Each structure stands twice: as structure tokens, then as C-alpha cells.
Amino acid sequence: MHNKTIAQIARDLAAGEYSSVEITQSLLTRIEQLDKTYNSFITVTAEQALAQAKAADEQRAAGNANAWTGVPMAHKDIFCTNGVLTSCASKMLSNFVAPYDATVVSNFNQAGAVSLGKLNMDEFAMGSSNESSYYGGVKNPWDIERVPGGSSGGSAAAVAARLVPGATATDTGGSIRQPAAFCGITGLKPTYGRVSRWGMIAFASSLDQGGTMTRTAEDSAMMLNVMASFDPKDSTCVDQDIPDYTATLNNSIEGLTIGLPKEYFRDDLSAEMQQQVRDAIAEFEKMGAKVKEISLPNTHLAIPAYYVVAPAECSANLSRMDGVRFGHRCENPQDINDLYKRSRGEGFGEEVKRRIMVGAYALSAGFYDAYYKQAQQVRRLIKNDFVEAFKEVDVIMSPTTPSPAFKAGEKTSDPVAMYLEDIFTIALNLAGLPGMSIPCGQVAAEGGNPLPVGLQLIGNYFDEARLLNLGHQFQQATDWHQQAPADLA
């Protein structure tokens, strides 16, 4: 049963092929057997999951079921979950049991979904490899010596390893799309404001957005149908009509214009990876789409702008983690300054400390105009590039990452090299656009199994339905999304 997609499970439950309790127990057993290797879960909520599954079966028997009733999934440990440890993979929150549900969690509960637990991540969502977690790094199911990507590496690895059919995730600079590419699954980051951030612990408030990790675009559409909602508790949530994202999956893409940004097909992108991406784009041409080269001239400014804006916002958001109200508190503080210093020094990991310090510097007196204000002005230029591009094309496509999954420890001593892993994804967060990564091929890896390659689809604002339609059509014509790691096939 672990090879079933969300859509297949929903159909099977409706047909009475098995019960929610049966598939929930099957996946819990699989997690217990395999996750010692992958470390994708921080907390497994077996007792709660089985109770939810039993309630779902009773609801179905009473004739009150919907598509999600009894379907198992899991949440990234950045979403507050009532009565369950919500740690953000940090020592700082290693004792924090959330007293309420995030809106995203509440939406899935109301839909009847079964939550199997909370998934590992980079600490406070800061990282590109899932090596900064207080609970240890997550392993990539395609090669356990390699990283799954970050920060949503636990979500990506759990879906790739067939421990869960789908998982929630968040994306601040590529944290859904990059791990989806590294793990050979489908990852969707919606438009900023499409999914409520209430109860999602903040890293960089103007960049963070909740999204989906699944094996197929159809499953992502099913998840987004639940996640997308207007929430008056989130002032950045947009009150706009929400379509049924599954309704247009089978629409023809004939006549669509695909833009290929010349800045994303760089000389340092390996020939093998570039070929896989171009072969995938050729599949869309076979379906009747047209291809046009475009330019996004301010692309080279995305990373420097991001690594001023994001750390600045992170330093402000994480100031609440002070050892006073919740979270880690140092032993026997001498005074209030000692309490703050030691609680934060002990509670935060190295990457989080690095970003807090950079952010505090960028916002400090005398440097605000030189750094933060200028980065926001550059951000507007990047957004304008996309606005102009979408006057000529319907969708933009590119590689998701500049390389396949790298080995654990390979980039931890070089933060800049780590940051460059998000070079193709960061601009979308600065602009607030939706983006999706789908598996589109594999490349050879030295001394190991082939590794997945991701194709990034970039849409105009609130055009997630088009991205899902394109992803679904590609997955009807190819089988890359059905490929599994060698040990799990």
C-alpha cells in the first residue's frame, strides 16, 4: 500500500478496498522499520493517527466522507500542531508543545486527513541541505550519503521513501522546490498569500509560503485544494477566489508559450543536467506548446538581495526566542542579560546564529539604507523582470537546481557555496510568484545510483492551476515521477 498516491488512496477508500485504519497502520509500521535510516520524522503521532483513522472510517460508514477522509499525510515541524511537539528542528523549541493548530493543520483536520506526525527540517527553515537540524540530518533515499535538500528535507525524503503519500512543507528561498528536485518528487510553492501563514513559525515573513510535497501533480492539486484558504488571522493572506485545482489538470496545453530565461541556462550547469531539462521541455513542445527565449536581467542580484532581506527578517522574528516565555531557558541565570545571552547561545545552532547576526547588522543604525533598503529596491527590479516576461509568455521553465543532490558535509564549511544551491529558486520568493519542481530525468553519480533532476515551472500570480495542469500533462507522457530509489522500487 505504500506505493499508492494520494489520489489512488482516496479512490481505494471510497471503493472500500481497505480502511483508513489499515493503511494508516501499514504506513506507521513502514516508518518504524525504515525511518531509522532516513531520519525524516521528528515526532511520530501513532496513537493520534490511528484515532483519526478510526474516526474517518466511522464517518465514511455514515456516508459523510469526502476526497480526503481517512487519507494519511504528515506535516513539516514548522506548523503548530495542538498538543504535539512543534520544534522547528531547534534545541530552542525542543520542549515546545503547541497549544493550537496552524490554519493549514486545521484545514487538513477539517477535511478528515490523518496526520502521521511531524517531519524533520533545517533549524528554523534555514538551510539548503537539512544538515542544520538539532535532531540530526535527513538522508536522501536515493543515496543515504547525500543530502535531501532543505529546508523541507524531511518532507521530501518521507515522500520519496514512500513513508507518506504527501506532506506539507514551506518555501522561503527554494525550500520546497530544491528538496523536491533532489529527491525526485513533485513540490509546489504557491503564490505568496495563497496559503495562510498563521501558526507557521516565521523565518522571513515576506518570503515564507506553505506548500506541498507529493509524488504527482494530481496529488499536489488535491493538497492545495485543502491548504489554500483566506484567513483573516493572517494579514498577508489574499482574499481571492480559490479554484478547484483538480478540475483543469487534463486541459490541453496546445498554443501555450513557454519562456526559457537565458540567465538560468548557465555555462556552469552541467551538460548532462541541461540536456535532461531541455529534453523535458521538448515533451511540452510535442504537446503543442511553443518555446521562446526570454531574459530576466536582474537574476544575478537575487542571491545578494535575498541574503540581506531574509536574515534581516529572521533576526526580527527570532528575537521572541529569549528564554522568557517559551522554549529553551538556560540554567541558573545571573540576571536578565545572562538569561538572554545564554538561552539564545545554547538554543540556536550555528546557521541560525549566522543569519541572526547578518540580519541584525543589516538593520542596525547607519546600515539600514545601505543594505536592507537597497535590497528591497533590488527586489522590486527582480519582480519587474517577471512582470515584463509574463507579457510575452504563459509560463517560465528552468532547471530547479544547478546540480543533483550533493554529499553530506560537502558544503557545510562553505556557506556561500551552500547558498548558491538556491540560485534558480530564490527570485520567485522575492517576487512572490508560484513555482513547482517536477522530476524530469536522472544523471549519473560518481560511485552510486543515478540521481534525480528537477524541472522548475514558474507561473504568473495565482496561476497555480496552470502549473499543476502542465505538471500533470508531463506526468501523463513520462514516467520520471514513478521512479523510486533503487532500494525501494
**Is residue 367 situated within a structural domain?**
no
Which of 382, 466, 421, 414 minimizes the C-alpha distance to 175?
421
DSSP 124: G
Which of 471, 7, 439 minimizes the C-alpha distance to 180?
439
Assessment of whether the complete model's pTM goes beyond 0.85: yes
Q: Which domain holds residue 114?
A: 6-256+391-482
Alpha-helical segments (H) within 271-367: 271-286, 302-317, 336-347, 350-363
**Is residue 344 situated within a structural domain?**
no
Query: How far is CA 345 from each of CA 312, 331, 338, 354, 355, rounded to the nearest angstrom?
Result: 18, 12, 10, 12, 13
Residues designated as active site: 76, 151, 175
Residue 456's CATH number: 3.90.1300.10
Cis peptide before 151 (omega within 30 of 0): yes
Using CB atoms within 10 A of its CB, is residue 35 exposed (0-12), middle (13-18) or buried (19+)? buried
**Is residue 426 situated within a structural domain?**
yes
**Is residue 80 situated within a structural domain?**
yes
Using CB atoms within 10 A of its CB, is residue 450 exposed (0-12), middle (13-18) or buried (19+)? middle
**Is residue 334 situated within a structural domain?**
no
First to last CA, the chain: 13
CA distance 453 to 112: 34
**Is residue 191 situated within a structural domain?**
yes
> Could you read off the pLDDT tens digit of each residue along the chain, which spans 489 residues?
899 999 999 999 999 999 999 999 999 999 999 999 999 999 999 999 999 999 999 999 999 999 999 999 999 999 999 999 999 999 999 999 999 999 999 999 999 999 999 999 999 999 999 999 999 999 999 999 999 999 999 999 999 999 999 999 999 999 999 999 999 999 999 999 999 999 999 999 999 999 999 999 999 999 999 999 999 999 999 999 999 999 999 999 999 999 999 999 987 788 899 999 999 999 999 999 999 999 999 999 999 999 999 999 999 999 999 999 999 999 999 999 999 999 999 999 999 999 999 999 999 988 888 899 999 999 999 999 999 999 999 999 999 999 999 999 999 888 888 888 899 999 999 999 999 999 999 999 877 789 999 999 999 999 999 999 999 999 999 999 999 987 775
Helix (H, G, I), strand (E, B) or coil at 49: helix
**Is residue 244 situated within a structural domain?**
yes
**Is residue 290 situated within a structural domain?**
no
Q: How many domains does the chain have?
A: 1
